[in-house]
Amino acid sequence: MNVKKVVEEALLNSEHLIRQGESEILEFKKSIGEWKEIIKTISAFANTKGGIILVGISSKGTASGVQIGKRTIEDLANKIKENTDPKIFPRILVRDIDGKNIILVKIEISKSKPVFAFDRVYKRVGKSTMRVTSEEIKKMALEGGKTYWDEQICEEAGLGDIDEERIKWYLEKREEIRMVKKPKEMDLKSLLLNIQAAKQIGGKIKPTNAGVLFFSKHPQRFVLQSQLRLARFAGKTLTSDFSDKLDCSGTLWEMIESAQGFIKKNSRFFAFRTEFSFRRIDKLEYPVKAIREGVINAVIHRDYTGPADTRVLIFDGRIEVVNPGSFPEGVTPANPMHVPVNPILCQLMYDVGFIEKYGTGIYMMREISKEYGISEPKYEIGEIETKLIFHSGGKGVIISEIEKLGVELNERQKKALMYALEVGFITNKIYTNINEVSNKTASLELKNLEKKRLLEVRGMGRATKYIPRI
């Protein structure tokens, strides 16, 4: 509904507006005696889209009118002002409908949210005025004041807590991915200010929360809840014992890399039979690229104002990525617009190629999952946390379980097998690079994997590839 159009219509033709009935931006009140409810509705309109209150109209749209004395309008305006914070000064008019006085109160959407009424906050949902939760109030305060958590100063941190090596990594990665030339001479302070990783307050430069999470030597010293925790459970529920766990610390991008390794290690492989009593290993149970995207979204779009950390929970048959907070207002998995909760973190992650902007992440996860042969990930969205769930497409075994069947693999061979399963093939050169070994060692260990009937050779000479055995 066009709020501006409705408001203008109300000012010119109140009778027509009454016939439309109550809505998200229109409320009827029978008498001025309902002034407390009127003020609650004012809070709701100011926190949502703005709106109009018509006093002297019954809930059924019948004009009963109100008695207008010398101070009626002034008293109502004072009550509104005294019981709202920040103070609201709505436009109040008197209209004649069927020979009866109707008070029209026009409320604009507030630029300084949240607007309290009687020390509580309200919002408009359909025709109802509803009280806002404490979590929503915090979120509203950040959005309404246009001050995002990641751009706020981290009071406990100083420039001495920023690691220049991490800054250099960022500049090199940004140049490689986004073609932004790194400065010939790095002025640390100017750079941090330029990318909003620091702010100057009263002549002193201090890191922002985004700067701490991206460049600090010890980010969790200042933002304890930024830790990323992962666990592999031996079963389908949280009550099951976990068989493996990892508490990641460090910068956001370092934790994501650590998490990816843990997820690969603890994802099942689709099983196959050979002389070692298992069937063809085709690929990992889940598309790692899609889960990585889900983890990245979780750490950059989460609510950092609360004490909870981000978690990745691996069960038999599913992976859950859980982060504190909900989707921004108006954004849903079906309508994934780019409305970042932490815009500076988003920009920094974009600079180094971890994300693309414009809300493409959810679409990408769906497409990858579809191509991979598993169902698209599902969201469970609450006021406190958001859960992203990937369901398995089949039954499989983990490399450690293969070893239990009598197949001996060294760590380099495990790494190579995981690579081949994910990418579809591996070569001698790739084996040497990922394991930092000689060509001779790579050749011998790849032939050993072939002998164990885990890989088979395709091509000759430099074109030789080893692919997962069919």
**Tens of pLDDT along 43-60?**
999 999 899 999 999 888
* Eight-state DSSP code of residue 19: H
- Supply angle C-alpha 169, 175, 181, rounded to 5: 115
What was the pLDDT predicted at 8? 47
Rounding to the nearest 10 degrees, give the CA dihedral for residues 123, 327, 174, 155: 50
What Cα–Cα distance (Å) separates residue 260 from each residue in 218, 229, 254, 272?
21, 12, 10, 25
**pLDDT at residue 454 tops 50:** yes
Cα gap 188→162, rounded to integer Å: 9
Q: What pLDDT score was predicted for residue 163?
A: 96
- CA-CA distance, 214 to 327, in Å (whole number)? 23
The mean pLDDT value for 29-50 works out to 93
What is the token pair recorded at 428?
């001698």
CATH topology of domain 408-468: Arc Repressor Mutant, subunit A (1.10.10)
* CATH architecture of the region 225-391: 2-Layer Sandwich (3.30)
Fold of 3-144: 3.30.950
Q: List the one residue out of 134, 141, 135, 136 whose CA is nearest residue 125.
A: 136
pLDDT at 266 exceeding the cut of 70: yes
What residue type is assigned to position 207 of the chain?
A: P
What whole-number percentage of the chain has pLDDT above 90?
51
pLDDT attached to residue 1: 42
pLDDT for 279 beyond 70: no
The answer to whether residues 72 and 38 touch, using CB atoms and an 8 Å cutoff, is no
* Mean per-residue pLDDT, 458-467: 89
Average pLDDT, integer, range 357-369: 83
Question: Which band of pLDDT confidence, cut at 50, 70 and 90, is reported for residue 137?
Answer: confident
Contacts for 364 with CB less than 8 Å, ≥ 6 apart = 290, 293
Q: What pLDDT, on a 0 to 100 scale, did the predictor assign at position 146?
A: 57
* pLDDT (0 to 100) of residue 6: 44
Is residue 236 predicted with pLDDT exceeding 50?
A: yes
Taking residues 450-457, report their average pLDDT.
88
Query: Mean per-residue pLDDT for 101-129?
Result: 90
Q: Of residues 93 and 403, which shows the higher confidence score?
A: 93
Tell me which H or E stretch contains 97. strand 91-97
Q: Residues 26, 28, 33, 36: is their CA dihedral positive or negative?
A: negative
pLDDT exceeds cutoff 80 at 344: yes
In whole angstroms, what is the distance from residue 207 CA to residue 154 CA? 6
pTM: 0.59
The per-residue pLDDT for 27 is 92
Tens digit of each residue's pLDDT (9 = 90 or more) over 293-306:
999 999 999 999 88
Residue 325 burial (CB count, 10 A): 23
Residues 57-77: tens digit of each pLDDT: 988 888 889 999 989 999 999
Predicted pLDDT at 314: 95
**Greatest mean pLDDT among 180-184, 331-335, 346-350:** 346-350
Is the confidence at residue 396, as pLDDT, over 60? Answer: no
pLDDT over 50 at 270, yes or no: yes
- What does the domain layout of the chain look like in residue ranges? 3-144, 159-219, 225-391, 408-468
Distance (Å, rounded) from C-alpha 42 to C-alpha 261?
A: 52
pLDDT surpassing 80 at residue 348: yes
Residue 20, phi-psi category: left (phi > 0), alpha (psi -120 to 50), beta (remainder): alpha
What are the structure tokens assigned to 31, written together? 């008498």
224-233, 315-324, 332-341, 460-469: segment of lowest average pLDDT:
332-341
Q: What is the mean pLDDT of residues 196-203?
A: 88
Mean pLDDT of 379-390: 91
Are 285 and 393 within 8 A, CB to CB?
yes
pLDDT category at 256 given cuts 50, 70, 90 is very high
The one-letter amino acid at 406: G
Average pLDDT, the chain: 86
Q: What is the pLDDT of residue 273?
A: 42
DSSP 256-302: HHHHHHHHHHHS-EE---STTS-----SBSS-HHHHHHHHHHHHHHS
What gap in Å lies between CA 391 and CA 401, rounded to an integer?
21
| Higher-pLDDT residue of 12, 339 | 339
The reported pLDDT for the residue numbered 171 is: 96
CA distances for 102 relative to 28, 37, 61, 243, 287, angstroms? 10, 17, 12, 69, 62
- pLDDT class for 276, splitting at 50, 70, 90? very low
Residue with tokens 């008070």: 103
